[in-house]
Structure formats: structure tokens, C-alpha cells
């Protein structure tokens, strides 16, 4: 049996454990330098921009992951990690 701490990355914990403020997209779990660059090219410069899209898609995992895959060519793991990170942040702060 895995514990929550063993299934989430340090990046996920760091992001979802504090207010978003002006965090860059690179701070989102699942988003590395390549995907961050692609997001920025699409106008998503800050994590709160991606959060906005996440909320517009009603926090739905399938819709958000499909959007991330279509928009920046994220793979399944990257998109699920990003969704889980944003969901955890919303659960904590909204």
C-alpha cells in the first residue's frame, strides 16, 4: 500500500501547499521546461493562467488532460500529474 507522500512529487507538494500568487507554469507538477515553453507560446505564462483553464473545464480530469495533450503535446503522465496538482491546490485553497 502506498502512502500519499510516496505517490506525489516534491514539486506537487510544494505547489499545492501554499497560495499560488505569481508562480510560473514551471512550478506545476508535470510541467517541465519544454511544456512550459509551449504553454507560454500559447499565452499561459503563469500557473494561474493554467488554473483558469482547469476551472473552465470544470476540474474534469479527462477534459483537462485532453486539453493539455492537444495544446502542448503533454503525455498522459504529465497531464495527470498537472491535473492532480491543480486539484490538490483547489481542494486546499478554494
End-to-end CA distance of the chain: 29
Evaluate if pTM is beyond 0.75: yes
Q: Quick: pLDDT tens for 54-90.
A: 999 999 999 999 999 999 999 999 999 999 999 999 9
Sequence ranges of the domains in the chain: 23-93
The CATH fold assigned to 23-93 is DNA polymerase; domain 1 (1.10.150)
90 vs 53: CA distance, rounded Å: 13
- Reduced to 3 states (helix: H, G, I; strand: E, B; else coil), residue 46 is strand
Radius of gyration of the chain (CA): 12
50 vs 30: CA distance, rounded Å: 12
Q: Quick: pLDDT tens for 9-49.
A: 888 888 988 899 999 999 999 999 999 999 999 999 999 99
Amino acid at each position: 500500500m502506498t502512502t500519499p507522500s510516496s505517490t506525489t512529487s516534491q514539486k506537487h507538494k510544494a505547489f499545492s501547499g501554499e497560495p499560488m500568487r505569481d508562480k510560473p507554469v514551471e512550478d506545476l507538477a508535470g510541467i517541465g521546461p519544454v511544456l512550459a515553453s509551449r504553454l507560454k507560446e500559447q499565452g499561459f505564462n503563469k500557473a494561474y493562467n493554467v488554473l483558469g483553464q482547469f476551472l473552465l473545464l470544470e476540474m474534469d480530469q479527462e477534459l483537462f488532460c485532453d486539453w493539455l495533450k492537444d495544446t502542448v503535446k503533454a503525455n498522459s503522465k504529465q497531464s495527470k500529474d498537472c491535473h492532480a496538482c491543480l486539484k490538490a491546490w483547489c481542494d486546499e485553497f478554494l
